[in-house]
Amino acid sequence: MEKYWRIPNPIKPLFNKELEPFPSTKFFDQLSFIGNPNVGCFVLETSEGIIMIDCMEPKDQYVEMIEKGFSDLGLDIKDLKAILITHGHGDHYGKADYFREKYGCRLYISKTDYEYALQDYRSPVGVLSFEINDYLGDMDTLKLGDTQITCVMTPGHTPGCLSFIFPVTDEGKRHMAGIWGGTGIPRDPGLVNEYLNSIRRFSSICKEMGCDVEISSHPFVNNGIARLEIIRNITDGVQNPFVVGKEGYQYSMKGFEKMCLESMEN
Report yes or no on 8 lying in a domain: no
Report yes or no on 33 lying in a domain: yes
Cβ–Cβ < 8 Å for 164, 149: yes
- CB-based burial of residue 107 (10 Å sphere; 0-12 exposed, 13-18 middle, 19+ buried)? buried
**Whole-angstrom distance, CA of residue 119 vs CA of residue 123:** 9
pLDDT at res. 1: 42
**Whole-angstrom distance, CA of residue 243 vs CA of residue 252:** 12
Task: Report the number of distinct structural domains present in the chain.
Answer: 1
Radius of gyration of the chain (CA): 17
Buried b (16+ CB within 10 A) or exposed e, 86-105: bbbbbbbbbbbbbbbeebeb
pLDDT at res. 128: 87
pLDDT along the chain (266 residues), means of 10: 51 61 95 95 99 96 97 98 96 96 98 92 76 95 98 96 98 97 84 94 98 94 89 85 95 90 81
Report yes or no on 9 lying in a domain: no
- CB-based burial of residue 187 (10 Å sphere; 0-12 exposed, 13-18 middle, 19+ buried)? exposed
**Whole-angstrom distance, CA of residue 72 vs CA of residue 87:** 27
| Cβ partners under 8 Å of residue 201, min gap 6 | 152, 154
Report yes or no on 2 lying in a domain: no
Residue-range definition of the domain harbouring residue 44: 15-265
Report yes or no on 5 lying in a domain: no
CATH of the domain at 143: 3.60.15.10
Q: Are strands 134-135 and 106-109 parallel, antiparallel or unpaired?
A: parallel
Report yes or no on 241 lying in a domain: yes
Report yes or no on 3 lying in a domain: no
Cβ–Cβ < 8 Å for 13, 21: no
Report yes or no on 125 lying in a domain: yes
pLDDT at res. 12: 55
pLDDT at res. 2: 47
Q: What is the pTM assigned to this prediction?
A: 0.92
Find residue 175's DSSP bridge partners.
Answer: 168
- CB-based burial of residue 133 (10 Å sphere; 0-12 exposed, 13-18 middle, 19+ buried)? exposed
